[in-house]
Chain A
Amino acid sequence: MTPERKVYKRDVIIEVTAKLMSPLILLFGLYVMIGTGGTGGGFQGGTILATGFILYITVFGSEKGREKVPESVNAFFKSFGLFLYNGAGWICILFSLAAAQWLNMPAFWPVTDFVGIAGARSFMVAYMISVGIGLTVMASFVSQYFDLAWKEDDEMEGDEG
Protein backbone atom coordinates (compact mmCIF):
# COMPACT_ATOMS: atom_id res chain seq x y z
CA MET A 1 0.00 0.00 0.00
CA THR A 2 2.94 2.38 0.45
CA PRO A 3 4.70 2.78 -2.87
CA GLU A 4 8.34 3.77 -2.98
CA ARG A 5 9.17 7.43 -3.25
CA LYS A 6 9.78 8.35 -6.86
CA VAL A 7 12.35 11.04 -7.46
CA TYR A 8 10.79 13.99 -9.28
CA LYS A 9 12.95 15.39 -12.05
CA ARG A 10 12.81 19.14 -12.41
CA ASP A 11 11.96 20.66 -15.77
CA VAL A 12 12.98 24.13 -16.88
CA ILE A 13 10.11 24.94 -19.23
CA ILE A 14 7.33 24.15 -16.78
CA GLU A 15 8.89 26.06 -13.91
CA VAL A 16 9.58 29.21 -15.94
CA THR A 17 6.07 29.21 -17.43
CA ALA A 18 4.42 28.85 -14.03
CA LYS A 19 6.41 31.66 -12.52
CA LEU A 20 5.63 33.90 -15.49
CA MET A 21 1.90 33.22 -15.88
CA SER A 22 0.84 33.23 -12.24
CA PRO A 23 0.84 37.01 -11.62
CA LEU A 24 -0.88 37.66 -14.97
CA ILE A 25 -3.72 35.31 -14.03
CA LEU A 26 -4.14 37.19 -10.75
CA LEU A 27 -4.35 40.50 -12.62
CA PHE A 28 -6.98 39.12 -14.98
CA GLY A 29 -9.04 37.86 -12.06
CA LEU A 30 -9.02 41.31 -10.49
CA TYR A 31 -10.25 42.83 -13.76
CA VAL A 32 -13.13 40.37 -14.03
CA MET A 33 -14.16 41.20 -10.46
CA ILE A 34 -14.28 45.01 -10.52
CA GLY A 35 -13.41 45.98 -14.09
CA THR A 36 -15.36 48.22 -16.46
CA GLY A 37 -18.96 48.19 -15.31
CA GLY A 38 -18.39 45.16 -13.13
CA THR A 39 -19.05 42.65 -15.84
CA GLY A 40 -18.10 39.64 -13.77
CA GLY A 41 -19.17 39.74 -10.19
CA GLY A 42 -17.85 38.19 -7.03
CA PHE A 43 -18.00 34.44 -7.68
CA GLN A 44 -16.38 34.41 -11.08
CA GLY A 45 -13.53 36.76 -10.12
CA GLY A 46 -12.77 34.84 -6.94
CA THR A 47 -12.47 31.55 -8.81
CA ILE A 48 -9.99 32.97 -11.30
CA LEU A 49 -7.91 34.39 -8.45
CA ALA A 50 -7.79 30.96 -6.82
CA THR A 51 -6.61 29.42 -10.10
CA GLY A 52 -3.52 31.61 -10.09
CA PHE A 53 -2.43 30.24 -6.73
CA ILE A 54 -3.29 26.63 -7.52
CA LEU A 55 -1.07 26.68 -10.62
CA TYR A 56 1.91 27.69 -8.51
CA ILE A 57 1.23 25.02 -5.90
CA THR A 58 0.83 22.24 -8.46
CA VAL A 59 4.16 22.91 -10.13
CA PHE A 60 6.34 23.58 -7.10
CA GLY A 61 4.92 21.29 -4.43
CA SER A 62 3.04 21.80 -1.20
CA GLU A 63 5.93 22.89 0.99
CA LYS A 64 7.10 25.68 -1.26
CA GLY A 65 3.51 26.72 -1.83
CA ARG A 66 3.00 26.98 1.92
CA GLU A 67 5.66 29.62 2.14
CA LYS A 68 3.75 31.85 -0.25
CA VAL A 69 0.33 31.39 1.36
CA PRO A 70 0.87 30.64 5.06
CA GLU A 71 -1.91 29.53 7.34
CA SER A 72 -2.46 32.88 9.08
CA VAL A 73 -2.93 34.83 5.84
CA ASN A 74 -5.40 32.27 4.56
CA ALA A 75 -7.52 32.37 7.71
CA PHE A 76 -7.51 36.17 7.69
CA PHE A 77 -8.81 36.44 4.14
CA LYS A 78 -11.51 33.84 4.72
CA SER A 79 -13.03 35.62 7.67
CA PHE A 80 -12.49 39.17 6.42
CA GLY A 81 -14.52 38.59 3.28
CA LEU A 82 -17.40 37.17 5.28
CA PHE A 83 -17.17 40.05 7.74
CA LEU A 84 -17.54 42.69 5.01
CA TYR A 85 -20.68 41.30 3.45
CA ASN A 86 -22.47 39.99 6.52
CA GLY A 87 -21.67 43.16 8.46
CA ALA A 88 -23.36 45.34 5.86
CA GLY A 89 -26.32 42.95 5.60
CA TRP A 90 -27.03 42.70 9.32
CA ILE A 91 -26.82 46.46 9.76
CA CYS A 92 -29.50 46.79 7.05
CA ILE A 93 -31.75 44.31 8.86
CA LEU A 94 -31.33 46.15 12.16
CA PHE A 95 -32.00 49.60 10.74
CA SER A 96 -35.19 48.61 8.96
CA LEU A 97 -36.50 46.62 11.95
CA ALA A 98 -36.47 43.28 10.11
CA ALA A 99 -39.01 44.33 7.50
CA ALA A 100 -36.60 44.67 4.59
CA GLN A 101 -37.13 43.19 1.16
CA TRP A 102 -33.85 44.49 -0.28
CA LEU A 103 -30.65 46.07 0.88
CA ASN A 104 -31.83 49.61 1.74
CA MET A 105 -28.79 50.68 3.69
CA PRO A 106 -27.70 53.55 1.39
CA ALA A 107 -30.64 55.63 2.51
CA PHE A 108 -29.03 56.03 5.92
CA TRP A 109 -25.49 56.61 4.80
CA PRO A 110 -23.72 59.97 4.57
CA VAL A 111 -22.51 58.97 1.09
CA THR A 112 -25.93 59.75 -0.34
CA ASP A 113 -25.30 63.47 0.17
CA PHE A 114 -22.64 63.44 -2.52
CA VAL A 115 -23.83 60.94 -5.09
CA GLY A 116 -27.53 60.25 -4.58
CA ILE A 117 -29.29 56.99 -3.81
CA ALA A 118 -28.51 55.28 -7.12
CA GLY A 119 -24.81 56.07 -6.88
CA ALA A 120 -24.64 54.86 -3.29
CA ARG A 121 -26.22 51.52 -4.22
CA SER A 122 -23.77 50.95 -7.03
CA PHE A 123 -20.88 51.88 -4.75
CA MET A 124 -22.04 49.36 -2.18
CA VAL A 125 -22.53 46.54 -4.65
CA ALA A 126 -19.32 47.04 -6.58
CA TYR A 127 -16.88 47.68 -3.76
CA MET A 128 -18.23 46.04 -0.66
CA ILE A 129 -20.20 43.05 -1.82
CA SER A 130 -18.12 41.90 -4.77
CA VAL A 131 -14.81 42.25 -2.96
CA GLY A 132 -16.19 40.42 0.05
CA ILE A 133 -17.41 37.48 -2.00
CA GLY A 134 -14.19 37.33 -4.04
CA LEU A 135 -11.86 37.14 -1.04
CA THR A 136 -13.87 34.41 0.68
CA VAL A 137 -14.11 32.26 -2.43
CA MET A 138 -10.39 32.56 -3.19
CA ALA A 139 -9.19 31.67 0.31
CA SER A 140 -11.70 28.81 0.61
CA PHE A 141 -10.68 27.07 -2.58
CA VAL A 142 -6.93 27.41 -1.90
CA SER A 143 -7.32 25.95 1.57
CA GLN A 144 -9.42 23.03 0.28
CA TYR A 145 -6.77 22.27 -2.34
CA PHE A 146 -4.01 22.19 0.29
CA ASP A 147 -5.94 19.73 2.43
CA LEU A 148 -6.82 17.34 -0.35
CA ALA A 149 -3.39 17.27 -1.96
CA TRP A 150 -1.16 16.89 1.10
CA LYS A 151 0.86 13.72 0.94
CA GLU A 152 1.58 12.08 4.31
CA ASP A 153 4.71 9.94 4.49
CA ASP A 154 4.73 8.06 7.79
CA GLU A 155 1.01 7.64 8.13
CA MET A 156 0.42 3.91 7.74
CA GLU A 157 2.31 2.83 10.84
CA GLY A 158 -0.61 1.93 13.02
CA ASP A 159 -1.22 5.11 14.97
CA GLU A 160 -4.26 5.27 17.13
CA GLY A 161 -6.41 8.32 16.78
Chain B
Amino acid sequence: MEWLIQHVLEKYNFWVAMLIIIISLTAVIVKENLLKKLIGLSIFQTAMFLWYVSLGDVGRDILTTWGLKTGTPSILWEEAAEKGYIYANPLPNVLMLTGIVVSAATTAVALAIVIRIYQKYGTIEEDEIIEKEMEFEREGGELKNASS
Protein backbone atom coordinates (compact mmCIF):
# COMPACT_ATOMS: atom_id res chain seq x y z
CA MET B 1 0.00 0.00 0.00
CA GLU B 2 2.85 2.35 0.81
CA TRP B 3 4.51 1.45 -2.49
CA LEU B 4 1.30 2.14 -4.37
CA ILE B 5 0.82 5.58 -2.87
CA GLN B 6 4.41 6.64 -3.25
CA HIS B 7 4.90 5.61 -6.85
CA VAL B 8 1.52 6.01 -8.44
CA LEU B 9 -0.70 8.45 -6.59
CA GLU B 10 1.87 11.10 -5.84
CA LYS B 11 2.92 11.50 -9.46
CA TYR B 12 -0.42 11.28 -11.20
CA ASN B 13 0.32 14.23 -13.48
CA PHE B 14 3.11 12.34 -15.23
CA TRP B 15 0.94 9.26 -15.80
CA VAL B 16 -1.88 11.29 -17.35
CA ALA B 17 0.49 13.18 -19.66
CA MET B 18 2.18 9.94 -20.71
CA LEU B 19 -1.18 8.40 -21.58
CA ILE B 20 -2.07 11.27 -23.92
CA ILE B 21 1.39 11.11 -25.53
CA ILE B 22 1.09 7.41 -26.31
CA ILE B 23 -2.43 7.74 -27.75
CA SER B 24 -1.55 10.62 -30.07
CA LEU B 25 1.69 8.98 -31.19
CA THR B 26 -0.19 5.88 -32.35
CA ALA B 27 -2.60 8.18 -34.22
CA VAL B 28 0.31 9.66 -36.18
CA ILE B 29 1.64 6.23 -37.12
CA VAL B 30 -1.53 4.29 -37.83
CA LYS B 31 -3.97 6.61 -39.60
CA GLU B 32 -3.83 7.00 -43.38
CA ASN B 33 -5.48 10.36 -43.97
CA LEU B 34 -2.98 13.20 -43.98
CA LEU B 35 -5.15 15.64 -42.04
CA LYS B 36 -5.73 13.15 -39.23
CA LYS B 37 -1.99 12.73 -38.87
CA LEU B 38 -1.62 16.47 -38.45
CA ILE B 39 -4.24 16.53 -35.71
CA GLY B 40 -2.36 13.79 -33.86
CA LEU B 41 0.90 15.74 -34.12
CA SER B 42 -0.67 18.88 -32.65
CA ILE B 43 -2.16 16.98 -29.69
CA PHE B 44 1.25 15.33 -29.10
CA GLN B 45 3.00 18.67 -28.80
CA THR B 46 0.36 20.00 -26.40
CA ALA B 47 0.74 16.96 -24.12
CA MET B 48 4.50 17.55 -23.96
CA PHE B 49 3.91 21.07 -22.71
CA LEU B 50 1.51 19.74 -20.06
CA TRP B 51 4.17 17.33 -18.82
CA TYR B 52 6.77 20.03 -18.40
CA VAL B 53 4.67 22.83 -16.95
CA SER B 54 3.17 20.56 -14.28
CA LEU B 55 6.66 20.23 -12.76
CA GLY B 56 6.44 23.78 -11.48
CA ASP B 57 3.31 23.74 -9.33
CA VAL B 58 4.03 24.14 -5.64
CA GLY B 59 2.23 23.53 -2.40
CA ARG B 60 -0.17 20.74 -3.13
CA ASP B 61 -0.19 18.14 -0.38
CA ILE B 62 -2.07 14.99 -1.31
CA LEU B 63 -1.52 12.66 1.59
CA THR B 64 -2.50 14.85 4.50
CA THR B 65 -4.90 17.44 3.12
CA TRP B 66 -6.62 16.74 -0.19
CA GLY B 67 -5.21 19.44 -2.40
CA LEU B 68 -6.15 22.42 -0.28
CA LYS B 69 -3.01 24.44 -0.75
CA THR B 70 -1.96 25.56 -4.21
CA GLY B 71 0.51 28.08 -5.52
CA THR B 72 -0.61 31.42 -6.88
CA PRO B 73 0.61 32.70 -10.28
CA SER B 74 4.00 34.32 -9.97
CA ILE B 75 3.11 38.01 -10.06
CA LEU B 76 4.55 39.67 -6.97
CA TRP B 77 2.06 41.60 -4.88
CA GLU B 78 2.19 42.87 -1.33
CA GLU B 79 -0.67 41.01 0.31
CA ALA B 80 0.93 37.64 -0.21
CA ALA B 81 3.10 37.96 2.90
CA GLU B 82 0.15 38.41 5.25
CA LYS B 83 -2.04 35.64 3.89
CA GLY B 84 0.72 33.09 3.51
CA TYR B 85 0.54 32.42 -0.21
CA ILE B 86 3.31 30.56 -1.95
CA TYR B 87 4.36 31.48 -5.47
CA ALA B 88 4.56 28.91 -8.22
CA ASN B 89 7.77 28.35 -10.12
CA PRO B 90 8.09 30.66 -13.15
CA LEU B 91 10.84 28.76 -14.94
CA PRO B 92 8.90 26.00 -16.82
CA ASN B 93 6.42 28.56 -18.19
CA VAL B 94 9.25 30.67 -19.59
CA LEU B 95 10.86 27.74 -21.39
CA MET B 96 7.65 26.37 -22.84
CA LEU B 97 6.41 29.63 -24.40
CA THR B 98 9.03 29.25 -27.08
CA GLY B 99 7.83 25.73 -27.81
CA ILE B 100 4.22 26.80 -28.23
CA VAL B 101 5.19 29.31 -30.88
CA VAL B 102 7.26 26.73 -32.77
CA SER B 103 4.30 24.33 -32.74
CA ALA B 104 1.99 26.97 -34.24
CA ALA B 105 4.41 27.82 -37.06
CA THR B 106 4.98 24.14 -37.90
CA THR B 107 1.25 23.43 -38.14
CA ALA B 108 0.72 26.35 -40.52
CA VAL B 109 3.44 25.27 -42.95
CA ALA B 110 2.27 21.64 -42.81
CA LEU B 111 -1.27 22.68 -43.76
CA ALA B 112 0.09 24.62 -46.74
CA ILE B 113 1.95 21.49 -47.92
CA VAL B 114 -1.23 19.41 -47.65
CA ILE B 115 -3.07 21.92 -49.86
CA ARG B 116 -0.37 21.65 -52.53
CA ILE B 117 -0.51 17.84 -52.45
CA TYR B 118 -4.26 17.96 -52.95
CA GLN B 119 -3.90 20.28 -55.93
CA LYS B 120 -1.42 17.94 -57.63
CA TYR B 121 -2.79 14.47 -56.92
CA GLY B 122 -6.46 15.08 -56.28
CA THR B 123 -6.66 13.03 -53.09
CA ILE B 124 -5.38 13.03 -49.50
CA GLU B 125 -5.43 9.30 -48.71
CA GLU B 126 -1.94 7.91 -48.44
CA ASP B 127 -2.32 4.60 -50.32
CA GLU B 128 -3.90 6.24 -53.36
CA ILE B 129 -1.01 8.70 -53.57
CA ILE B 130 1.49 5.82 -53.46
CA GLU B 131 -0.39 4.03 -56.27
CA LYS B 132 -0.34 7.11 -58.47
CA GLU B 133 3.37 7.60 -57.88
CA MET B 134 4.16 3.99 -58.89
CA GLU B 135 2.02 4.35 -62.02
CA PHE B 136 3.87 7.51 -62.92
CA GLU B 137 7.21 5.81 -62.56
CA ARG B 138 6.22 2.78 -64.58
CA GLU B 139 4.74 4.60 -67.52
CA GLY B 140 7.32 7.35 -67.61
CA GLY B 141 4.82 9.98 -68.68
CA GLU B 142 2.85 12.71 -67.08
CA LEU B 143 0.03 12.26 -64.60
CA LYS B 144 -3.43 12.18 -66.09
CA ASN B 145 -5.03 14.66 -63.73
CA ALA B 146 -2.11 17.04 -63.67
CA SER B 147 -3.08 20.55 -62.59
CA SER B 148 -0.19 22.26 -60.92
Contacts and interface: CB of A to CB of B under 8 A. Distances in A.
Majority SS of interface residues in chain A? loop
Nearest to B100: A43
Interface residues of A, number: 14
Nearest to B147: A156
Interface stretch (B41-49, B107-115, B128-136): B107-115
B148 A43 contact: no
B14 to A, nearest CB: 27
A148 B112 contact: yes
Chain B: interface residue count, which band? 10 to 19
Contact of B147 (A43, A148, A157): A157
Given A37-B75, A43-B101, A147-B112, 14 more contacts: A1-B122, A39-B75, A43-B97, A43-B100, A148-B108, A148-B111, A148-B115, A155-B119, A155-B147, A156-B147, A159-B147, A159-B148, A160-B148, A161-B148
Complex A-B, nearest 7 residue pairs according to Cβ-Cβ distance, in ascending order: A161-B148, A144-B108, A156-B147, A158-B147, A148-B111, A1-B122, A43-B97
